[in-house]
Amino acid sequence: MPSAQSVISVLAPIAATAMFVRSMSYDLFPYVLNEYMSSKFYKFFRSFSSEFTIVIEEFRGFSRNQVFEAADIYLATKVTSSTHRVKLGKSESEKNVAITVDKDEEVFDSFQDILVKWKLISTEVKSSSRQSPGQHLRDLNATLRSEVRSYELSFHKKHKEKVLTVYLAHVLETSKAIKQETKGIKIRKAEYGGIWNSEDTNLDHPMTFENLAMDSNLKNEIIKDLETFKKGKHFYKRIGRAWKRGYLLYGPPGTGKSSLIAAIANYLNFDIYDLDLTELESNSDLKRLLLTLSSQSILVIEDIDCSIRLQNRNSEDDPDVNKEDKVTLSGLLNFIDGIWSCCGEERIIVFTTNHIEKLDPALLRPGRMDMHIHMSYCTISAFKQLAFNYLGILHHPIFIQIEELLKKTDITPAEIAGQLMKNTDPNISIRNLLRFLKKKVEAQGSAKTKVDVCSYENL
């Protein structure tokens, strides 16, 4: 084997000759010709490489590249002991600390029989007076950040088709599931002009189905319906219906309608859009809101019976109808299940009312409000949940008497909760509630007796 000194003595003149030729080429040949020759040499040597690379830039025009965002989320789950540098961060909208890959860091992933390599490329953007007019408009990334970022996804070129069709779809689906699981729930309200407010307002409501005071059978029925809806993407597509669900919550005030909405949002991890119809100027505003409504969201229209007087469809063309109504019944019906309702998927629409008898029958038919949920007065199962929530007890000898009294009086879960909050001692609190219920039964009995006497005297 030749010595290192002899090898160096042979290579040195060759390297010097190459440098001389390169220097002479820059002096003797035009810049364009040099660039052309360099590109030819690059293509020549690249033809012998088995590696294929996909470049995924952070922005596409004025919009963020969803594939880049998905890669950011997905690669956080692929960080191993071989990874040297990562970045950590957390915003108010996130539940946990987020991990992202640092620039020039390589992350390897194995999918089926494919080995891929991800690398984050970051290029510094230098401000220059020679920047062409309008260039800052074409490159939104350069104007918002001091760097232009992209991912390079490299793999053997024989897997090109599988990576493009199967692997990247896997990355998108996995990142979507991770994002849905870790994101915080937002609540937004409609603003003047038919737009949703852009402020990120977190919904930190603690209500869940575990602590919701509600009849246990009805609660289980709702959970089962939500589970069917959540897994129903292919079913809804097969039957030709928009992937949405409508719930009508009706019952007296204080029966837990708002708490149920919060429990549904926390169960599905869906954002809430709160719509007050009186804020809208026309049916066009209604359509505009629907088009900007995100998927995996809950649209809530509370007190539908009194928030706006919806005119009957047959009288909308009548010149004698009060023209102060801005949103018509037809507009609302088209909003719920017309052609515009198909613009988006995985949505839930919730109407609430204290007086279901005041609603137009067109709002109640199946397909618009799929499930009518009666939020009743407090039952024994709802009371036991409240007792556990506020007092931490599951059983008490007085529960039997309370159950009998609940059958004789109309009392809301909110009233029960108000009584249980007055004392944290379980024995004292339960006895105080018992006395309160007895007085309530007596008062309602006296009122009923007076009504019966008046009715008899009027005969």
| Average pLDDT score over residue span 296-306 | 87
Q: What is the pLDDT of residue 341?
A: 66
Domain final residue, candidates 138, 160, 182? 182
In this structure, is residue 4 part of a structural domain?
Answer: no
In the predicted structure, residue 110 carries a pLDDT above the cut 70: yes
Q: What is the pLDDT of residue 9?
A: 61
Look at 84-88, 132-136, 444-448 and tell me which has the smallest mean pLDDT.
132-136
Q: Are 195 and 158 in the same domain?
A: no
pTM of this prediction? 0.65
* Rounded-to-integer distance, Cα 218 and Cα 248, Å: 14
In the predicted structure, residue 269 carries a pLDDT above the cut 50: yes
In this structure, is residue 35 part of a structural domain?
Answer: yes
Q: Which residue has the higher pLDDT, 15 or 240?
A: 240
Q: What is the pLDDT of residue 197?
A: 73
In the predicted structure, residue 389 carries a pLDDT above the cut 60: yes
In the predicted structure, residue 348 carries a pLDDT above the cut 70: yes
In this structure, is residue 10 part of a structural domain?
Answer: no
Q: What is the pLDDT of residue 445?
A: 73
Domain range for 23 is 15-49
In this structure, is residue 2 part of a structural domain?
Answer: no
In the predicted structure, residue 107 carries a pLDDT above the cut 60: yes
| Average pLDDT score over residue span 417-436 | 95
Q: What is the pLDDT of residue 19?
A: 57
In the predicted structure, residue 5 carries a pLDDT above the cut 80: no
Domain count, the chain: 4
Mean residue pLDDT of the chain comes to 79
In this structure, is residue 3 part of a structural domain?
Answer: no
pLDDT bracket for residue 137 (50, 70, 90) = very low
Q: Are 137 and 210 in the same domain?
A: no
| Average pLDDT score over residue span 26-40 | 55
Q: Are 363 and 340 in the same domain?
A: yes
Q: Are 262 and 284 in the same domain?
A: yes
Q: Are 334 and 200 in the same domain?
A: yes
